[in-house]
A and B are shown apart, each in its own frame.
Chain A
Amino acid sequence: MPLLAGYHRPETLDEAVALLSQPQHIPLAGGTVINADRHRSGYVGVDLQSLGLNNIQFEGSSASIGAMVRVADIEHTFPHDLLGVAARRELPSTLRTIGTIGGAVAAAGQESLLLAALLASSATVTTADGKSTPLDEFLRSPSGLITTVELHTSTDWAFEHTGRTPMDTPIVAVAGRRSSSGPILAITGVSSVPELARSLDEVEQLIPFSDFRGSSEYRHHLAVKLSQRVLGALS
């Protein structure tokens, strides 16, 4: 377990921001990542659960999801959407009820299916200072306390993945959505965060990393092959 030096549960956003401006203070969303890290020590957790960031609001085909909305609630709220399918696969049942969408964005996992679904859904991230940033930009230079994630919902989506087993974190996965400007692909397992692509040519340009689950060559092959399938389904 991490050796937490302190714990706060602020009641307001301002209070949270003030706490987080102090050294060694870090936001504590669900805890599936931070609380599992036994090597981190000496920090102060700022628990965001009382900030009222756990609502989902809809406006037309857009949705605004509070940063503290649990992954399980996303699954239940969007059962037929790319987002819901990705949420279902993001975490097993006993962690899905703890992990949050804000935590997933902040953790920026290279294999996060939820993140890929959000990217493909043209998500933007709003922080406590009121600034909205496209998710892909936010992932490149994260800054500020995440309060909401906005995205476009759609039934026109496709998802392909390859793993060691059916529910293994995919070696490579491709989440795709048809937008008004054409297909949007988000690919996991090829870079430090899921990569956005708008065409097969862009996918072909990727130079994935290698690890024990898949070489760079194999990951590249999967990215192209699965993207072809997603594009085929979207067409």
Chain B
Amino acid sequence: MIPITITLNGRVVTGQIEPHDTLRTFLRSQGMFSVHYGSDSGETGAAAVLFDGRLASSDVILAAQANGHTITTVESLNTSPELHPIQAAFVATGAFQSGYSAGAMVLGALALLEEHPSPTDEQIRDMLSGILDRETAYVKPVEAIHRAAAVLRGEQTAPFTPVILPSLTQQGEPVEHDPSDNPPSAPAAVPRLIPSKDVPEMAVVGKPEIKVDAVRLAKGNPAFTDDIELRNMLYAKVLRSPHAHARILDIDDAAARQLPGVHEVLHYKNTPRIKYASGGQSWPNPHPHDQVSFDDKVRHVGDRVAVVAAETPEIAAHACSLIDVSYELLPAIFDERDSMADGAVVIHDEPDTLEIHNRDRNIVHHITARRNDPDEAVKRAHDNGHHVFTQTFRVHQVQQCPIEPHISIAWLDEDERLVIRTATQVPFHARRMVAPLLDRDIKDIRVVKPRIGGGFGAKQEMLIEDIVGHLAQATRRPVRLELDRSEEFIGSRTRHPQTLTFTTVVDSDGKLVSQDLYIIGNTGPYGTHGYTVQTVAGLRGLTQYNAPNKRFRCDVVYTNIPVPGAYRGYGAPQAEFALEAHMDDIAAQLGYDSIEFKRKNWLRLGDELNIAPHLGERAASDEELDEYPRVLSTGLEECVAQALREIGWHRRDDPEWRQPADRPNIRRGLGFAYCMHGTAIPFLDMGGCSIKLNDDGSFNMLVGATDLGTGADTVLGQIAAEVLGVHLDDIKVYSSDTDMTPFDTGAYASSTTYISGTAALRAAEVARERIKERAAMLLGVEQPCSIELRDRRAYAPDGRSVSMEDIALDSLHTQEQEQIMGTASYVSPECPPPFAAQVIEIEVDVDTGQVTIMKMAMAVDCGVAINPVTASGQVEGGMLQALGYAHCEEYAFDENGKMLNDSFGPYHIYRADEMPETAVYLVQTMEDSGPFGAKAVAEIPKDGVAPALRHAIQNAVGVSINELPFTPERVWRAMNSAVNQSQQ
């Protein structure tokens, strides 16, 4: 041990450390919970602190190196209940989503503003370059720092509210783009809101309320899974497969067990073989159940082999290296097209995995859905004078990259029940799914979801909860397992690679006659979300345009790549890339303007969603239905008009703009994509909520919904506050604890605002009715329905009123005592689609193929944005992830299936100092089926960037690329190929 002394937040601190201890681990041992793990190599910046006044990642600083130095964490600012101006500015602008890296951002701003009281955008973005953020696209943090700087200079700042804009369209009809009409001037972080006259003015809903969890995030208070200290905690480490496909002949764990400090080693030889599917989905989980906690076969590099629980993470890792595993190597297969071929190795040859569609050809599922007869449409196309277009696209494997990796801590409580504190999007599914694996009843398990540092679908999985459960039961001690960044890449979940083939028939008027989509979906070695993601891909790929004939066919196949699963968008980004690209190319070949061609065919108000009921977990059969769901709200034309104005669409045809005279190697381009998504899964997603009134007129609201940083807790609180006539601050939201809160299917499928929000609305309505009755009694009013709740008071028609506090005190203490509370749940028969227009501006270097994104703008019809600031943050963050998908992120493997870029840097995600300009428009519509008119917003930003970027590249350099991402070499080769073809 080495003695060290540091000055920590102005206080001299001494300690004893091991030579290998990092400053991060030392600081956390001192209670500095704002310092978070993102990776061992420091590039996430989640653990950044001020080291002698300079922002530095404490992951790569040894505690010994810090001896004698001055360290500052964000806890230094927490000297009073009030927020420091920097913290306050981040809160006011909605700059924290999950808040996992909040401490680092605030500290970076503190250091920056001391040196530069009036920083430039470039200086701020440079400071943020070392703090990776998958949530905000950095837009609002930059604005927050500008506003903090102004406050610290003694200047007044205006409230952070949306810019209200007039509509450009009337009655949803298209308008011609006016080149002379300039977009509004406002900071990028400010949402542009186009109100609808159908939406009434409300007190809390629709307002940019501060997030209910803002203070805890800004102060770096212990809120995340890891921010808990338990005595006698053991640390788990997973031994992972170095082989893509192998049978385990034997495991000898004797040496590992003999290592001092090791308490348990688990593997296939000492763990029950109980089959399950890990996707966090409603009961019953889709077959096949093709996983067990520890198998005698590995099916991808990074697959589980064994796990160790030990006194320290280092001992656990050392013990893993002492486990002797004998493998029989098997051929491995990575491409979904190869995996279906005759003679390919069978990946699931074990007899106890049932319901594999075609085991010998690795086909897990074969999915079909149809309306009318696309084959006939193709067959008769020639005779009918119709055009037939067939095109194949390939999309790749990427990762969600939440900055907080998967982490779970499990222990036996005083009643010997198993408590699992875990970073999950699906606590109720996780409890139900883990129970049989641990041979426990569901009632003997409690799953607690604390604050999550981002999920994006990666945590819609029962991924590691069984491991800590097994170990906690075996050792009877608390056990913690946190994945490192490499494990997060190879051992968690990713987006599905796919090969998509569209065949479309178009009549002589440019109307679609038929659309057929065939997908080969690569689900890696396990089914998990393979079935549902592909059905959503079919749904999204075949819904947003009208065509009387439609067909979806899909083969979901096993391969030996790291396991794909849920990722924000859930099949839509893949399908909409292929669909929009296909439509662009058809338009070009038929001589149409792309937007006009799409407009001829896109869904309008009242149009049928004509294949939706035939796809999905609760899909109807292929039989024709009497009635199909329809589009009941759309602001698409307004979205298009706003987006085209924002990007300056007229420049697309301006040769002088496209080829700047002073930069001979540069070509510019603009691109457009139309997007449509869904809102929740009808007849399946369910959310529950209960609300009770407290003595002071405040309310406790319990919801099963999981806030991933999206602002769900805030939005649900706003909905309840609006119903109850109180302020958001009067609603204390507690979410996602299987012992305490009502059930919720979880945070996925763009469902939380719509499903859980309606549950919150209905629970609040139940409470409201009882409050009105009590108020009527107190005010001597005969008809409770005439009572109106607003401003924390209940008003009689004659203007007399009683406060919510007085109603509470009366009901709890004075007469006919009762607990006023409301409970409700909601499952929807509808799936109202949000719509959007995505535009993008780029520059292409024709010498190198390098594409530089200059600007992205998205106009979204998400119904009524309950909170326009958090909604716009969702769009900004979604566009950032979508840009990575389209432009730079990609799994790379060697020939043996080992990932070559399992760390940030080689796997590049966008940094603050390279993000293009962005703008977000929220086009209001009134969706009557949603709470206060709301539809979904979280996933649609993932859908349009890739096709819009492809469209812009076509505009800039005239090449069409059917494979993602648009890397420099891929674009360069496409340009070379085009040149070669033109010369032949």
Contacts and interface: CB of A to CB of B under 8 A. Distances in A.
Nearest to A6: B19
Contacts of B322: none
B54 A72 contact: yes
Contact of B128 (A93, A169, A221): A93
Given A35-B61, A47-B65, A93-B127, A1 B42 contact: no
Interface string B31-45: 000000000111101
Interface string A135-176: 000000000000000000000000000111111110100000
B178 interface: no
B433 to A, nearest CB: 31
A97 B108 CA distance: 12
Interface in B753-789: none
Given A38-B40, A166-B914, A167-B129, A94 B56 contact: yes
Interface stretch (B145-153, B286-294, B602-610, B905-913): B905-913
B580 interface: no
Interface stretch (B459-467, B526-534, B842-850, B855-863): B842-850
Given A93-B128, A168-B888, A212-B892, A36 B60 contact: yes
Contact of B848 (A6, A28, A88, A225): A225
Interface in A171-222: 171, 211-215, 218, 221-222
A134 interface: no
B20 A92 contact: no
Given A32-B42, A35-B22, A165-B887, A211 B60 contact: no
Contacts of B51: 97-98
A92 B19 contact: no
Contacts of B20: 1-4
A45 B61 CA distance: 12
A169 B909 CA distance: 12
Q: Which of A28, A92, A97, A226 counts the most chain B CB atoms within 10 A?
A: A92
Contacts of A93: 45, 55, 108, 126-131
Nearest to B976: A221
A215 B969 CA distance: 8
B126 A88 contact: yes
Given A94-B131, A97-B51, A218-B972, A31 B892 contact: no
B130 A92 contact: yes
Interface residues of A, number: 48
A95 interface: yes
Contact of A165 (B48, B57, B128, B908): B908
B969 A1 contact: no
A7 interface: yes
Contacts of A88: 126
B525 interface: no
A145 B142 CA distance: 42
Interface string B659-676: 000000000000000000
Given A5-B19, A6-B19, A95-B43, A38 B484 contact: yes
Contact of B969 (A91, A218, A226): A218
A122 interface: no
B60 A95 contact: yes
A98 to B, nearest CB: 5
B426 interface: no
B60 to A, nearest CB: 4
B64 interface: yes
A211 B888 CA distance: 15
A162 B850 contact: yes
Contacts of A166: 852, 913-914
Nearest to B2: A7
A96 interface: yes
Interface string B951-966: 0000000000000010
A226 B972 CA distance: 14
Contacts of A222: 848
B515 to A, nearest CB: 33
B900 interface: yes
A221 B972 contact: yes
B91 to A, nearest CB: 23
B59 interface: yes
A32 B968 CA distance: 28
Given A165-B888, A213-B967, A32 B852 contact: no
A212 B900 contact: yes
Looking at chain B, what size class is its interface with the partner chain?
35 or more
A127 interface: no
B57 A94 contact: yes
B130 A96 contact: yes
B88 interface: no
Nearest to B892: A212
Interface in A38-74: 38, 44-45, 47, 49, 72
Contacts of A169: 905, 908
A215 B972 CA distance: 12
Contacts of A92: 43, 45, 129-130, 911
A167 B318 CA distance: 37
A1 B43 contact: no
Contact of A162 (B22, B61, B484, B968): B968
Contacts of B129: 92-93, 167
B19 A95 contact: no
Contact of A225 (B40, B56, B847): B847
B62 A7 contact: yes
Nearest to B126: A93
A6 B20 CA distance: 8
Contacts of A36: 40-42, 59-60
B64 A9 contact: yes
Contacts of B61: 31, 35, 98
B968 A164 contact: yes
Interface string B894-922: 00000011000100101101100000000
A4 B905 contact: no
B121 interface: no
Given A31-B61, A35-B61, A169-B905, A163 B892 contact: no
Contact of A28 (B65, B314, B888): B65
A185 B55 CA distance: 33
A3 B22 CA distance: 11
A136 to B, nearest CB: 25
A164 B65 CA distance: 35
Contacts of A211: 892, 900
B56 A4 contact: no
Contacts of B45: 92-94
Contact of A168 (B59, B318, B908, B973): B908
Contacts of B892: 211-212
A123 B651 CA distance: 47
Given A7-B2, A28-B65, A95 B57 contact: yes
B122 to A, nearest CB: 11
Contacts of B22: 1, 35
Q: Which of A5, A47, A98, A218 counts the most chain B CB atoms within 10 A?
A: A98
A210 to B, nearest CB: 10
A88 B51 CA distance: 19
Given A28-B65, A167-B913, A7 B848 contact: no
B236 interface: no
Contact of A4 (B48, B57, B62, B484): B62
Nearest to A72: B54
Q: Which of B51, B847, B900, B965 counts the most chain A CB atoms within 10 A?
A: B847
A59 to B, nearest CB: 28
Given A30-B60, A167-B913, A215-B969, 8 more contacts: A1-B20, A93-B126, A94-B43, A94-B57, A97-B54, A164-B888, A168-B914, A169-B908
Top 6 nearest A-B pairs (CB, nearest first) are: A94-B130, A212-B892, A36-B41, A92-B130, A93-B130, A4-B19
22 contacts: A1-B20, A4-B20, A28-B65, A31-B65, A35-B22, A36-B42, A36-B60, A38-B484, A91-B130, A92-B130, A94-B42, A94-B45, A94-B57, A94-B131, A95-B42, A162-B845, A163-B850, A164-B888, A168-B888, A171-B969, A211-B900, A213-B969
